[in-house]
Structures are given as C-alpha cells and as structure tokens.
Chain A
C-alpha cells in the first residue's frame, strides 16, 4: 500500500476521541473550580470528568497502538511523534522553571529584601522590625508556625539514588529491546516501574513525617510553598511516568515494539529521564543547598 512508503503521506481518519477528551477536561476543570468554592457535588463530577478522560486515553492511545502495530506508520509519522514528545517535554520544563524561578526569586531577592537588604531597608524598619531573613523561612510573620526541614541526606538522598538507578534500568531495558531480548526488556522495565513506585511511596512517607513531626506544611510560608509545590508537582510527574512505564511494560509483555521501531517506549523513557533531571535540580536547590 502506498501509505507505507516514505514518499507518500499518512493522514488519519476523523476521530471522536478529542471531543470526548474536551468534555472530560471541561467537566474536570469546571468541577475543580466548584470544588475549591466548596461545592459538595463537585468532587463527584470531578471524578466523572477524570473517568471520561481516562476512557478517552484508553480509546485514543489504543487506536494509535493498533495502527502502529499493524505497520501503518511510516518513518515520517514516527518523526512527527518524536517532535511532539520532545516539545511537550520542553513545555513541561518551562512549567517547572516557573516554580524554580519562584524559589530563586524568593531566596535571592524577596526574603533578603524583607530582611532589610537593598531597597527593603524601610520594610525591615517599619513593617517587620528585626525580621532576620535566614533561609529556610516562613516569612516575617512565621506563617504556619515553627517548622524543621527534611534533612537532605536521609530519605531524599535515598530517593535520588532510586531515581538515578531507575534511569539506568530503563536504559538497560532499551538496550535489551534493541537486541530483541524480550526477557531482559520486561525484567528491566518492571524493575524501573518498581523503583518509580518506591520513590513515590517514600515521598508520601516524607510528606507524612513533614506534616506530623516537622511542622512543615504547605502553609509554612514561602519555604513550605516552594517545597511542597516543587516536590508535589514532581511527585505527580513521577507517578504519571511510573504509570506510563507500567503501560509500556504490559505492552512489552504482549509482544509490542520491534528492535528498530518502538517510539512509545522511547517517549516514556525520555519522559522518565526528564523527571529524573528535575529531581536532581530539586535535590540540589530544595534539599541540599
């Protein structure tokens, strides 16, 4: 068939999945807005929206996987997918950049100004006299009460090792796939999934300790804000990445992917390396430094 050759184009037929996704997304986002405004029904409609989105993903991705496995995609389609994933990850990097930016701005500029540096001298004299701007801080009014920070070289360090190891195992899985060694592929993939979920479990444990024993909460001033928003969004991305890896592992078990053609695997691996790199930034700038 002509569509298989690279000198011709592949254009998919019309599809119902995007509009289903839009309905799901709108239901979810609208419900979220009602939810924060304390509507009692909203959590349920939110859930309904999430289920519609999940249904959409199963349907849409399933269709793409079937098309891919039946060899309908030529190398041009493959390149489009690759570019799509790369630029999606670029947008994710910028999302995290906003929160890292907030962290750096607070640490380098806002907090020292509150402590009387630079043009902030009068703030320190008049508004919050004697506020000692030392990071970590919950601000001049010590919002959320006294707290202690999570020590870097405890659970976070273990989590760093876990994520770095998982980066290695996913690469080993990739090498196995390229050599068409299915057993090793599935083995290393499952190991990566396991490491991912262990990371998330430890992160949850760390949050419980922070809330119950350290007095560190989302409301602990700028430190709590940046700490939980950065690690929280990262944790959500790790969870998502681990689910994606699990899907890839199931697909590998079903005999999907070929040594020369496995974009789905690579996309997830790229995503995994991306959450890995974000974590390194977090470990250095949130925990250690």
Chain B
C-alpha cells in the first residue's frame, strides 16, 4: 500500500478518494471518521432508546390497574431489569459518546479523535454486546430478572441468562473504557494552539471529567460481575457468608461504580445545557470557571457517596453519617451550576427555539430531581423512602427530563450543523411541549406513590395506589408516543428539509464548531485553526 493511500488528505482532490470513504456498508463498518462513528453511536442509542422504551411501556401497561393484567410477574421483573440495563448502557451512555465524537474535535480544532481506529472498535463492540443481552429474553430461563443492580444472592439464582448478562456487561465496559481513553487523549493532546484548558467549551470540560470517571469505575463494575460469575460457577465465596464473604460487599463494590455512573450520565448533559443557554440568551455563560470547578467537585464527591444507596442494608452509624453528609455536599456544586444557568439567562435577550426550550426544561426539572435526591440523602428518612416509587420518581427526573432532555436539546441544537439543514421548528416545539407535559404526568405522581409506600419492582399493588398509577401510565403512553415525533423531525431534517443551515446556524452561537460550514466537512480541520477571543464562546467573561 502506498503512502498516498495510507494517509488521509484533506485537500479537496483527495476528499473523495475511495480509501478515505468506502461506499455502502463498508463505510460504516471500517470507518475511522469521528462524524461517521458519532452518527453510528447516535443512531444505535436512538434504537436502544426505543427498545428500552417499549419495555417501559409494558411496565406502565401492567401497572395501569391493580392486579395482574398483561404479563407474568417473572416477565415483569425481566422488563424492569432490561429496561434499566438498556437505557443506562445502551441509550444514554452511547448517546453521549456519539455527541462527544461529533462535537469534541470540532470544538477544540482537531481533525478527528486522537485514536480513530480504536474509536471504530469501541462502537462496534456495542451492537454485539446488546444482541447478546437482548438474546437472553428468548432463552428458556428468560432474561435477567434481579434488577439492573444484579444484587446477589438473587442474581445468582438466575438461569442460563446470568452468564450472558455478565459477559455482555464486560463488553460494554471494554467499549466504554476505550471510548473514554479516546476522549481524554483527544482533549488533552489535540487541542488547536491557543485552545487552552480554560478556553475549552463547557461540553468539552464535562466530557473530559466524565471520561475520567468512566476509566475509574467501569473496571470496578467488571470486577464486581466477575466475582458474581465465579461465585455462581467456580465455587468462590465473595458474596457467601458461609464462606466468610458478604452479599453486602457486592453492593459496596457495585455502587462504587454505580454512583459515579449516574454522574457519567448527567455531566455531559450539564455541558450541553451550558452551551445552549448562552446561545439563546445571547450572553456568555455566567461563571465559566466556577462551572468547571463545580463539575470537577461533583466528580470527586461522586466517589465518596456510594453507600447512600445502602442506608437500609445496615452500616455503622459513623458510616451512615459520613455518606449522608458527603451526599448532601454535592448539592453545593450542583447549586452553583443551577444558579449560573439562571444568571446566564438573567437580563439576556432570550429566544425560545426548541433546543432552548429543552434546556430550560432541563434546568427546572433536573433541579426537582436533585431536590428529591437531597431528601433521599438524609439517612434517617431514607429508611422510609428506600425501594419505593419515590426513588423511581427521583432518578427518572434526573435521567429523563435530565439527561434525555439534554440529549434532545443537543440534538436539536447541532442537527443543522450535522445535516446542513434546519429541522422543522414547529414540530420540534410540538415534540417539546408534548414531552415536557407528559413526562411530568408520568413521573410526578410517582413521588406521591412512593411517599405513600408503594414499593418499586412489583407488578401488582394495593388498590389505594390505583389513581396515581393510572395517571402515571397515561403520561407514560403519551411520552412514549411523542418520541416518534422526534424521529419524524430527524428523518425530515436529514432527508426532506430544504431550508439550508448557515455556518453559524443560531444568531447567538459562538465557538469553533460554528465557524465551520453546515454540514461540517467530512474532515474537520486539516490544519489547526487560529483560536482567538472571537471564537471562544465565553470570551466576554474572561480578561
């Protein structure tokens, strides 16, 4: 192979070179291009969002009325378990990696990700991993049914599916670790000259910290599920008290992974919202460096709060107090963020295009989820809330109108940059309003159900919970159906929209990605761009 074909050239003459960009399926299988891989991640995560979402529809349909209506309890448990595994590992996490792939090189002035071949591999592991995970539903034993947290001893009593879940989780972990290594190497090594760390857009900062979290905790999850596997099949006693082990130990190891994991899903959301609000408020982000330090503080604290998931399991009083106060401390940097978003909007010249609507809804609804989290952090009252629908309401508020709304916001925000066309603003707004209203009908009543004592992960319930469950289910069906609008808007934007997007797309948009034409060229920067104050989004706030 000659060097001509081995190297990528960004001169126009070479852009269509067949080695650069194979056609058809081969293009997607062999690609090393960050935009192609970003698209793969985003399409994959959208598919998983609908698969996981249809499981949620089954759950809500079963809970529509008291009594067993549609599914067997065993299958219900499989649905709750798989819904969580798919939404966490298949929808939200890969969606953020998709955004990272598309946007990081464009935001820091790089040609591509730092390790493009590994980038391809980290994506192409995922379809295999999720095929393996989903295939368990068709096994004699059915899918995993012990909850996504895989607590022993219950998870060890699963049938054939158990080992498949463990190995699927291993593959997802390998994919995540490679993806994170790529993100860190890209951000630390491929910034254009002049793009100093404290000039980076907030989305870049939040992803840098997220990648660090992923590298620190995904291997711990791998260790935890490996111990489950050997306890089940090879006679070890990690989680067996008769052999000197402790089932509670699994919970400690799992949540050492699990708590940073929830920040892995929300930190990039903070980043996206911190990009969008300044654009549509036409003001630089308020307190840029405070936002950076707040993100880092949240990441640090996320490592020392894990046992707040375990207050009812039993731990020494000092332990409960430590984890309670450490958890409540997270409210401080998170509060800094929320106040900074509000301050950015203060006296701004605001317009309310779809990305901004989703971003504002994020700020309001995520904060509700954050406040219920603060309630859950109080060890003494958590004894009442634990394992009730209050917890379900809490984490769905931070994940759905939190992470997922930020994903929607980001998708609408950058879709014109990706496709070169404007999406339908009317349908975007319809999507927003239907989603924002229905998501509250879906999850808000669950707070009351939980406070009244309805346990989670149960297919049937006492008749006193009937009304709120029916309301919640109706909200769920509307929310689920309204996501089809999102698909419609995307398909229309990609294939049908005739309205060309300008390079800047949004009047108030600042930052390197908006200096590129829309759609962004296949190769972003062949030579490093010049970074000066005018291209930095938060220029005015710095001296």
Contacts and interface: CB of A to CB of B under 8 A. Distances in A.
B100 to A, nearest CB: 15
A222 B171 contact: no
B16 interface: no
Main secondary structure of the interface of A (DSSP, over half): helix
Given A92-B219, A119-B316, A222 B244 contact: yes
A94 B219 contact: yes
Contact of A139 (B164, B174, B237, B252): B237
A87 B214 CA distance: 11
A94 B128 contact: no
Contacts of A11: 7-8, 32, 111-112, 116, 523
B185 interface: yes
Interface in B10-67: 19-22, 26-27, 29-33
Contacts of B478: none
B236 interface: yes
Nearest to B245: A222
A90 B214 CA distance: 11
Contacts of B248: 110
B160 interface: yes
A22 B128 contact: yes
A264 interface: no
Nearest to A79: B189
A12 B5 CA distance: 10
A60 interface: yes
Nearest to A83: B185
Interface stretch (B118-126, B481-489, B495-503, B504-512): B118-126
Contacts of B242: 139-141, 143
Contacts of B224: 98
A123 B246 CA distance: 12
Interface in B158-189: 160, 163-164, 166-168, 170-171, 174, 177, 180-182, 184-186, 188-189
Contact of A76 (B6, B20, B190, B527): B190
Interface stretch (A23-31, A170-178, A206-214, A269-277): A23-31
Interface stretch (A160-168, A191-199, A223-231): A223-231
Given A80-B189, A139-B244, A12 B215 contact: no
B117 A12 contact: yes
A137 interface: yes
Interface stretch (B80-88, B226-234, B364-372, B409-417): B226-234
Nearest to A4: B7
Interface in A91-144: 91-92, 94-95, 97-99, 101-102, 105-106, 109-111, 113-114, 118-119, 123, 127, 137-141, 143-144
Contacts of A79: 185, 189
A225 B245 contact: yes
A8 to B, nearest CB: 6
A7 B244 contact: no
Nearest to B528: A7
Contacts of B30: 14-16, 19
A84 B181 contact: yes
B350 interface: no
Contact of A111 (B115, B227, B232, B244): B244
Contacts of A17: 117, 121
Contacts of B186: 80
A174 to B, nearest CB: 23
Contacts of A141: 242-243
B223 A95 contact: yes
Interface stretch (A32-40, A148-156, A279-287): A32-40
A219 B236 contact: yes
A221 interface: yes
Nearest to A131: B244
- Most chain A CB within 10 A, of B6, B125, B129, B236, is at B236
Contacts of B166: 33
B526 A12 contact: no
A13 B21 CA distance: 8
A218 interface: yes
Contact of B163 (A37, A90, A127): A37
Contacts of B171: 25-26, 29
A23 B121 CA distance: 11
A8 B529 CA distance: 11
Contacts, number: 262
Contacts of A157: none
B117 A60 contact: yes
A106 B230 CA distance: 17
A37 B117 CA distance: 34
Contacts of A23: 128
A41 interface: no
Contact of B244 (A81, A94, A98, A223): A223
Contacts of B115: 80-81, 84
A226 B253 CA distance: 14
Contacts of B243: 138-139, 141, 143-144, 221-222, 225
B487 to A, nearest CB: 27
B120 A19 contact: yes
Contacts of B297: none
Contacts of A228: 236
A158 B276 CA distance: 61
B241 A140 contact: yes
Interface string A34-59: 10110000000000000000000000
A7 B253 CA distance: 45
Nearest to B120: A18
A114 B244 contact: yes
Given A33-B167, A225-B245, A95 B236 contact: no
A90 to B, nearest CB: 6
Given A12-B8, A67-B6, A94-B219, A143 B237 contact: yes
A8 B231 CA distance: 52
B433 interface: no
* Residue of B171, B181, B215, B217 with highest tally of chain A CB at under 10 A: B181
Interface in B327-345: none
A198 B451 CA distance: 62
B117 A225 contact: no
B483 to A, nearest CB: 29
A83 B114 contact: yes
A16 B116 CA distance: 12
5 contacts: A13-B7, A14-B31, A83-B188, A91-B177, A95-B219
Instruction: List the 10 closest pairs (A to B, CB-CB), nearest first.
Output: A98-B223, A139-B244, A18-B121, A222-B244, A219-B235, A221-B243, A26-B128, A225-B236, A139-B243, A110-B246
Interface of A: 1, 3, 7-19, 21-23, 25-26, 29-30, 32-34, 36-37, 60, 67, 70, 72, 76, 79-81, 83-84, 87-88, 90-92, 94-95, 97-99, 101-102, 105-106, 109-111, 113-114, 118-119, 123, 127, 137-141, 143-144, 217-219, 221-226, 228-229
Given A14-B26, A91-B181, 6 more contacts: A14-B33, A19-B124, A33-B166, A218-B230, A219-B236, A224-B237
